[in-house]
């Protein structure tokens, strides 16, 4: 059973939600308990996410600073972007992170600066008639490898220290490097980054074959940790320790439905959706 209590810091009211099988129960400030019966797991996720979003839009925030690995540390509503596009900038070397969203009909663009518990440290107006497509937060580390897609059927791996290039024939999507940069994967296949030689899957989890651009596959790394979401739609995000080959957690909250982006911070995994919700999951090991 999933149970979460949200607090509105302005009114000091509480709102609780319980998800028990196909039954959802909600209660505002100790009042009458409302019960929602669902027909399927998908309906449970959809209705639970909708109920939580409704309260979060009113200012309710979920926070649990003592969350275990893979459990939510924070859920809050940041604000729906006009284009459903909210670039995320985070680094495994620090706990604070940034989100950017367009306000109204390009009337303004706002940069949000959060701390590791999900509190807003500051907001900055970037001005109207603009939209940030991507932002990068310096990890205070040395980038050594890069990859880019040159044609519909080729990728080029570049060693930024030696300028050595390796061409890899592959028409797949969703490339990622292993934590030690020794292996590169795209489209469910694996290669040595130094030579481009194809190898067997070195990871403890299987990777789907034939992924195309519309799939929601995404992999993020922090040291030996890998966060993996392979299927489009409502698949969970798996948190793996590649050193031990252990699955640490499967993040399957109702907000992991229309996944847009997620990234590691120093002690957490930040997730945001295209309907304005931001979540932080504990990854402190």
What is the predicted pLDDT for the residue at 173? 75
What is the predicted pLDDT for the residue at 115? 93
- Phi, psi (rounded to 5 degrees) for 61: -130, 135
What is the predicted pLDDT for the residue at 266? 93
CA angle 260, 263, 265 (to 5 degrees): 150
Q: List, in sequence order, the alpha helices (H) in the chain.
A: 41-56
Q: Give the number of other CB atoms < 10 A from CB of residue 230.
A: 20
What is the predicted pLDDT for the residue at 219? 82
Q: What's CA 153's distance to the chain center, in Å?
A: 28
What is the predicted pLDDT for the residue at 123? 87
Sheet arrangement for strand 165-169: 145-151, 154-159, 165-169
What is the predicted pLDDT for the residue at 199? 95
β strands within 104-177, DSSP E: 108-114, 120-125, 145-151, 154-159, 165-169, 176-177
Separation between Cα atoms, residue 247 and residue 224, nearest integer Å: 12
User: Which residues lie across from 88 on neighbouring strands?
Assistant: 99
User: Which residues lie across from 169 on neighbouring strands?
Assistant: 154
Separation between Cα atoms, residue 247 and residue 222, nearest integer Å: 15
Pairing relationship of beta strands 72-77 and 62-63 according to DSSP bridges:
antiparallel
Residue 197 backbone class (left: φ over 0; alpha: ψ -120 to 50; beta: rest): beta
Say whether 62 sits in a helix, a strand or coil: strand
What is the predicted pLDDT for the residue at 101? 78
Separation between Cα atoms, residue 280 and residue 106, nearest integer Å: 27
Residue-wise pLDDT tens for the chain (285 aa)? 889 999 999 999 999 999 999 999 999 999 999 999 999 988 998 899 889 989 999 999 999 989 999 999 999 988 765 555 567 888 888 999 988 877 777 777 788 899 999 999 998 887 876 666 556 555 545 557 777 776 778 888 877 778 788 888 988 877 788 877 788 888 888 999 888 899 999 888 887 766 665 565 678 888 889 998 876 556 788 999 988 999 999 988 876 655 567 889 999 999 887 677 889 999 987
* pTM for the predicted model, two decimal places: 0.81
What is the predicted pLDDT for the residue at 110? 81
Separation between Cα atoms, residue 66 and residue 88, nearest integer Å: 24
What is the predicted pLDDT for the residue at 58? 94
Separation between Cα atoms, residue 161 and residue 193, nearest integer Å: 13
Residue 4 has, within 13 A of its CA and on its CB side, a CA count of 26
What is the predicted pLDDT for the residue at 237? 87
What is the predicted pLDDT for the residue at 17? 96
- Mention every residue, 6+ apart, whose C-beta is less than 8 A from residue 29: 13, 14, 15
């Amino acid at each position: 059973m999933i149970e979460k209590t949200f607090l509105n810091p302005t009114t000091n009211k509480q709102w609780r939600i319980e998800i028990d099988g196909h039954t959802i129960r909600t209660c505002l400030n100790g009042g009458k308990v409302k019960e929602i019966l669902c027909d399927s797991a998908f309906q449970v996720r959809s209705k639970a996410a909708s109920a939580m979003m409704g309260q979060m839009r009113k200012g309710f925030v979920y926070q649990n600073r003592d969350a275990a690995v893979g459990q939510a540390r924070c859920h809050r509503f940041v604000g729906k972007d006009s284009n459903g596009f909210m670039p995320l900038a985070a680094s495994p070397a620090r706990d604070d992170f940034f989100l950017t969203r367009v306000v109204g009909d390009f009337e303004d663009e706002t940069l949000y600066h959060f701390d590791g518990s999900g509190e807003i440290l500051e907001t900055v107006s970037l001005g109207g008639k603009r939209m940030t497509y991507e932002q990068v937060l310096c990890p205070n580390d040395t980038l050594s490898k890069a990859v880019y897609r040159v044609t519909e059927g080729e990728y080029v791996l570049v060693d930024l220290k030696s300028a050595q290039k390796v061409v890899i024939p592959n028409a797949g999507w969703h490339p990622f490097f292993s934590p030690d940069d020794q292996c590169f994967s795209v489209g469910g296949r694996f290669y040595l980054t130094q030579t481009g030689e194809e190898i067997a899957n070195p990871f403890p989890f299987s990777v789907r074959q034939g992924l195309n651009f519309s799939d929601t596959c995404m992999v993020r790394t922090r040291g030996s940790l890998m966060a993996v979401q392979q299927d489009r739609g409502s698949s969970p995000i798996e948190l793996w320790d590649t050193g031990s080959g252990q699955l640490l957690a499967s993040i399957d909250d109702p907000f992991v439905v229309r996944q847009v982006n997620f990234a590691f911070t120093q002690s957490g995994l930040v997730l945001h959706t295209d309907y304005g919700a931001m979540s932080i999951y504990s990854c402190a090991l």
